[in-house]
Amino acid sequence: MGTGKRTLIAAAVTVVCALTVLAVPCTAFAAPSPTPTPATTPPAAATGTVTPPPDKDLEAVREQLDRLYHAASVATDAYNAAEEKSQQQSAEIVQLARKIVDGQERLDDLKDRAGAAARAQYRGGGLPDEARLMLSDNPQQFLDGAGRVIQGERATKGLLGEMTRTQQDLKQYAADASAQWRKLEANRRAKAAAQKDIERQIKAAKTLESRLEKRQKERLAKLEEEAALRAQTAWLDSGILDEIDGKASAQGKKAVAFATAQIGKPYVWGAEGPDSYDCSGLTSQAWANAGHGIPRTSQEQWKQLEHVDIKDMRPGDLIIYFGDASHVAMYVGDGAIIHAPRPGRTVTLAGAGTMPILGVVRPDA
């Protein structure tokens, strides 16, 4: 694309932005709708010296941390969905800006052609047709010329009609771009709210953890391991693993291999790699690497991908967790998953039954 046209597109985007700047205040970020209601955030601990909780309350601390990190996960899904929508809407605005530029160039060309036709008709005007016929030495030549004049008039009317349609198209493109801009700004505002919510939940969790002494943190980690083991044991004791014998598809194998290679990389909310991931960032990138794009968020993965029974799942399938579909992991076989758990943790191998399972989806059904 030439420098001139790039300048025109930039100008068109500026015009599109100007269409709504008076009606829509500009802000920085945004989140999707509907957004699941996050868990209530307990008040943060007061600044200064804090007293660690008694050991007998560590189980309550573990449960409270689970609630805080779950709320952060819900907000992260909202942030990711808003980010994805904002990217789509930005791309649509750019496409509309290009249409506006192309339409304006087309309109300018039509105006030039219509002006040239009008000038030609003016130069051929003057005496009435009857007088020109009487004065002509060659009546046939006159008739031929008159026919060309009629054709020219028709062509001019056609040009004027096309100009009108082009002007109408430009008006519609501008209206569409204005609507997309308003949606983009709404998503940016929602994304900013989701970001604040994530940061608030994580800060509260870290404040709570900071109150623990070293031995209490070690005991808390042990309690978390025991809770995960109880949940996984109960899941396995149901006999479910005896029914699961599905084989991974070719793409599923590639997705599993990608996820496995990310083990040990840190969880970062909103991250899609290559150095860090959140839960749905890991699964979406694993399947993108396998050549099959899927939605970015765990909630959209649950909504849009085909559901399969747990007994029918195979390596590469995605397990969606919690009633609000706020967490996702990749099943890798033998009752195990790979997932990015939460802030402060790394991509890891875990038991598939360690969290409440909502259902299973298959990207390459």
Q: How many CB atoms lie within 10 A of CB 258?
A: 20
Count of C-beta atoms within a 10 Å radius of residue 36: 17
How far apart, in Å, are the Cα atoms of 36 and each of 73, 283, 340? 11, 21, 20
Give the other-Cβ count within 10 Å of 59's Cβ. 14
Q: State the Rg of the chain over Cα.
A: 32
Q: How far, in Å, CA of 163 to CA of 39, rounded?
A: 57
Note the helical H segments in 21-138: 58-123, 129-135
Which member of 26, 292, 307, 327 is catalytic? 327
Q: Which of 17, 26, 70, 339 is catalytic?
A: 339
How far apart are alpha carbons 284 and 212 in whole angstroms?
A: 36
**Closest among 245, 362, 360 to 292, alpha carbons compared:** 362
Greatest Cα pair distance in the chain: 119
- Beta bridge partners of residue 318, listed in sequence order: 330, 361
* Two tokens, residue 276: 């860090």
Closest CA to 189 of 78, 290, 100: 78
Q: Hey, is 104 helix, strand or coil?
A: helix
Whether 327 is a known active-site residue: answer: yes
- C-alpha to C-alpha distance for 25 and 182, rounded to whole angstroms: 9
Given the residues 26, 70, 279, 292, the one annotated as active site: 279
Please state, in angstroms and rounded to a whole number, the distance separating the CA atoms of residues 196 and 224. 27
The C-alpha atoms of residue 82 and residue 56 are separated, in whole angstroms, by: 41
Token pair 């690497």 is at which residue? 289
Give me the residue label for tokens 């970020």. 29
In the residue annotation, 70 being an active-site residue is answered as: no
DSSP string, 150-203: HHHHHHHHHHHHHHHHHHHHHHHHHHHHHHHHHHHHHHHHHHHHHHHHHHHHHH
Cite the active site residues: 279, 327, 339
